[in-house]
């Protein structure tokens, strides 16, 4: 049964909660010493030391074993209900947050029942897998709710900061955690690969900070930002927990937003809603893809819609799947055997695309006409948009086959520069240190951006700058005009895509 909002008065009351200002630290109820979890020592490097480079844990999951030792053996697997929500609730381990910010975000979701319904419906494809992986590592199941605020569980989510997938990896962090990115395939959108990478990253952050709240803050803000905030507080003799740190507004709201979703999932009846049941069993399974196959053909062989196929395999960014990409496909559990049977018995061509080399003076419009495809579709298939350079003579394009019986020449493209990962046109991060005479307007002009954008990126409440202040500036392209370029972090400036859910 779809979500139903039964008490609009509840939402109005929550929305009207007093004191919803967003000043750093003003509205978060601090932990009492008794409520703070006893975690093993995980020393944070001293101010004189650089933050350690995260190391991807071994496949054996040693970090997960250590975490399991900290918590009592849970009854997650003993839950006799068939509803995955019960299994998720049984694995909640993080501290509760009591703050007007939580009430504010609860009201936001409750006042958008259509959005909440889409969110739950979309998540049902992936939640079982994510929960299963969390349990294997001994991690709190609240983390299974994190993609709800990152991307609304939309695996095709793509933010203005070029973050992609349900975990919203930016390119540099994705590469750092082994997520392949090329013209054919983007591992940040691969649900299985990106989930493993995100959990590796979160475990590394936990090992660095010894605290899940700080680990999540670092996932949102970047480990460097959290590290510096911790060191500042330590130098002043102040506490270094999440609630004591000064941080950007978005990070300050990050955990309250997660707590709001957790509260709704924990007791939906309290909020006057009914969650649609999600079966406590796998939604998808893995099958092997042939050397070349059209996305449309693969969906047909599995007897699923193209939309459903793309929802499970969004990492394949072109209309044809090739060995350059991951050879594994995800299909609904009840369709895997049918796909294999149909694949073995079909005598029809599996691909309908080939490579075409652009001739001197040839326009895209004439190519589209030659192959009976619209110009818009030709551009879409070949990733020709405003962020990429124009076409040139000799460039290779992916086009429909003129003759369905023709042999595909896709193998010829593997070593071609045209079909390797495109030049990194993602936004680059610059750190600008404010000098005497700098104003918000002058800094914005220097980096060809707007004062409003700089304020949003840095959580500034006014136009006033101070000498020595560090400002994060995001720019298009890998080449920076000026300033110091720092390695991209997995930051929440990228997460506007969640609102598009």
CA distances from 438 to 141, 332, 452, 469, 471 (A): 46, 57, 16, 10, 12
pLDDT surpassing 80 at residue 196: yes
Return the percentage of the chain with pLDDT > 70, whole number: 71
Q: Which residues contact 109 (CB under 8 A, 6 or more apart)?
A: 115, 116, 260, 261, 264
pLDDT reported for residue 472: 79
Q: How far apart, in whole angstroms, are the C-alpha atoms of residue 233 and residue 245?
A: 7
Q: How far apart, in whole angstroms, are the C-alpha atoms of residue 48 and residue 45?
A: 8
pLDDT tens for each residue of 410-445: 766 655 666 665 444 434 567 898 999 999 989 988
**Radius of gyration for the chain, computed over Cα atoms and rounded to the nearest angstrom:** 25
- Residues β-bridged to residue 201: none
pTM: 0.69
pLDDT reported for residue 416: 65
Task: Centre a 10 Å sphere on the Cβ of residue 169 and count the other Cβ atoms it contains.
Answer: 28
pLDDT tens for each residue of 296-348: 999 999 999 999 999 999 999 899 888 765 678 999 999 999 999 999 999 89
pLDDT confidence bin for 395, thresholds 50/70/90: confident
pLDDT confidence bin for 373, thresholds 50/70/90: very high
Q: How far apart, in whole angstroms, are the C-alpha atoms of residue 173 and residue 169?
A: 6
Beta strands per DSSP E along 107-158: none
Range of weakest confidence among 104-108, 161-165, 338-342: 161-165
pLDDT surpassing 50 at residue 369: yes
pLDDT surpassing 90 at residue 238: yes
pLDDT tens for each residue of 116-128: 999 999 999 999 9
408-446 as b/e: b if 16+ CB within 10 A:
bebeebeeeebbeeeeebbbbbbebebeeebebeebbee
Could you tell me the two tokens for 307? 């939309």
**Mean pLDDT, range 250-260, rounded to an integer:** 96
pLDDT surpassing 50 at residue 19: no
Could you tell me the two tokens for 117? 């319904």
The DSSP secondary structure of 301-363, one letter per residue, reads HHT--HHHHHHH-TTB-SSEE-TTS-SEEEEEGGGHHHHHHHHHH--S-S--EEEEEPPTT--
pLDDT reported for residue 452: 76
The two beta strands, 293-294 and 320-321, are antiparallel
pLDDT reported for residue 167: 97
Q: Which residues contact 51 (CB under 8 A, 6 or more apart)?
A: 45, 208, 223, 224, 227
pLDDT surpassing 70 at residue 497: no
**Mean pLDDT, range 477-492, rounded to an integer:** 34
pLDDT surpassing 80 at residue 71: no
Task: Centre a 10 Å sphere on the Cβ of residue 53 and count the other Cβ atoms it contains.
Answer: 8
pLDDT confidence bin for 386, thresholds 50/70/90: low
Dihedral, CA of residue 101, residue 23, residue 222 and residue 131, to nearest 10: 0
pLDDT reported for residue 193: 95
pLDDT reported for residue 325: 56
Q: How far apart, in whole angstroms, are the C-alpha atoms of residue 270 and residue 181?
A: 44
pLDDT surpassing 80 at residue 78: no
Q: Which of 381, 400, 379, 376 minimizes the C-alpha distance to 390?
A: 379
- Residues β-bridged to residue 399: 354
**Mean pLDDT, range 160-189, rounded to an integer:** 90
Q: How far apart, in whole angstroms, are the C-alpha atoms of residue 400 and residue 133?
A: 40
Range of weakest confidence among 43-47, 174-178, 353-357: 43-47
Mean of the per-residue pLDDT values for the chain? Answer: 78
pLDDT reported for residue 460: 77
Q: Which comes out higher in pLDDT, residue 68 or 308? A: 308
**Mean pLDDT, range 356-364, rounded to an integer:** 89
CATH superfamily, domain at 353-407: LysM domain (3.10.350.10)
**Mean pLDDT, range 134-159, rounded to an integer:** 95
Q: Which residues are catalytic?
A: 150
pLDDT tens for each residue of 219-237: 999 999 999 999 999 999 9
Domain 428-500 has CATH 3.60.21.10: no
**Mean pLDDT, range 447-469, rounded to an integer:** 81
pLDDT reported for residue 461: 74
CA distances from 271 to 10, 83, 119, 139, 438 (A): 7, 19, 17, 27, 49
Q: Dmax over Cα atoms in the chain, in whole Å?
A: 75
Provide the residue count of the chain: 501
Per-domain residue ranges of the chain: 284-345, 353-407, 428-500
**Mean pLDDT, range 91-116, rounded to an integer:** 94
Could you tell me the two tokens for 487? 């390695």
Q: Do domains 353-407 and 428-500 have the same CATH topology?
A: yes
Range of weakest confidence among 37-46, 139-148, 205-214, 400-409: 37-46
pLDDT tens for each residue of 470-484: 887 876 543 333 332
What phi and psi, each to the nearest 5 degrees, are found at residue 341? -65, -45
């Amino acid at each position: 049964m779809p979500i139903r909002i039964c008490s609009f008065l509840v939402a109005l009351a929550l929305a009207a909660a007093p004191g919803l200002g967003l000043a750093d630290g003003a509205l978060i109820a601090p932990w009492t010493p008794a409520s703070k979890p006893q975690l093993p020592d995980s020393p944070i490097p001293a101010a004189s030391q650089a933050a350690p480079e995260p190391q991807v844990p071994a496949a054996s999951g040693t970090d997960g074993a250590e975490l399991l030792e900290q918590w009592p053996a849970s009854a997650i697997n003993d839950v006799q209900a068939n509803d995955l929500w019960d299994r998720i609730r049984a694995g909640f381990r993080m501290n509760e947050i009591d703050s007007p910010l939580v009430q504010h975000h609860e009201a936001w979701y409750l006042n958008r029942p259509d959005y909440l319904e889409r969110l739950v419906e979309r998540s049902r494809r992936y939640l079982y897998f994510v929960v299963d992986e969390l349990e294997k590592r001994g991690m709190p199941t609240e983390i299974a709710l994190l993609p709800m605020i990152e991307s609304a569980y939309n695996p095709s989510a793509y933010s203005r900061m070029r973050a992609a997938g349900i975990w919203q990896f930016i390119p540099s962090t994705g590469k750092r955690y082994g997520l392949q990115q090329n013209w054919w395939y983007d591992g940040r959108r691969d649900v299985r690969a990106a989930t493993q990478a995100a959990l590796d990253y979160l475990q590394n952050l936990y090992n660095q900070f010894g605290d899940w709240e700080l680990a999540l803050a670092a996932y949102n803000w970047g480990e460097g930002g959290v590290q510096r905030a911790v060191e500042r507080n330590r130098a002043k003799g102040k506490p270094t927990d999440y609630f004591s740190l000064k941080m950007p507004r978005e990070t300050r709201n990050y955990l309250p937003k997660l707590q709001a979703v957790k509260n709704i999932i924990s007791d939906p009846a309290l909020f006057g809603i009914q969650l649609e049941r999600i079966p406590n069993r796998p939604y998808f399974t893995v099958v092997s893809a042939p050397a070349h196959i059209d996305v449309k053909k693969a969906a047909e062989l599995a007897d699923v819609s193209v939309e459903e196929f793309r929802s499970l395999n969004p990492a394949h960014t072109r209309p044809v799947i090739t060995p350059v990409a991951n050879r594994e496909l995800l299909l609904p559990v009840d369709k895997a055997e049918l796909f294999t049977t149909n694949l073995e018995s079909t005598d029809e061509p599996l691909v309908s695309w080939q490579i075409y080399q652009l001739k001197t003076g040839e326009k895209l419009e004439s190519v589209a006409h030659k192959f009976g495809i619209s110009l818009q579709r030709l551009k879409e298939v070949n990733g020709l948009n405003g962020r990429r350079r124009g076409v040139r003579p000799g460039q290779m394009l992916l086009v429909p086959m003129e003759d369905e019986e023709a042999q595909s020449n896709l193998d010829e493209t593997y070593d071609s520069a045209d079909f390797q990962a495109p030049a990194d046109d993602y936004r680059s991060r610059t750190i600008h240190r404010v000098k005497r005479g700098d104003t918000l307007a002058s800094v914005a002009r220097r980096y060809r951006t707007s004062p409003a954008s700089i304020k949003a990126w840095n959580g500034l409440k006014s136009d006033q700058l101070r000498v020595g202040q560090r400002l994060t500036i995001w720019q298009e392209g890998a080449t920076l005009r000026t300033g110091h370029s720092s390695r991209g972090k997995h930051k929440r400036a990228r997460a506007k895509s969640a609102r598009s859910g």
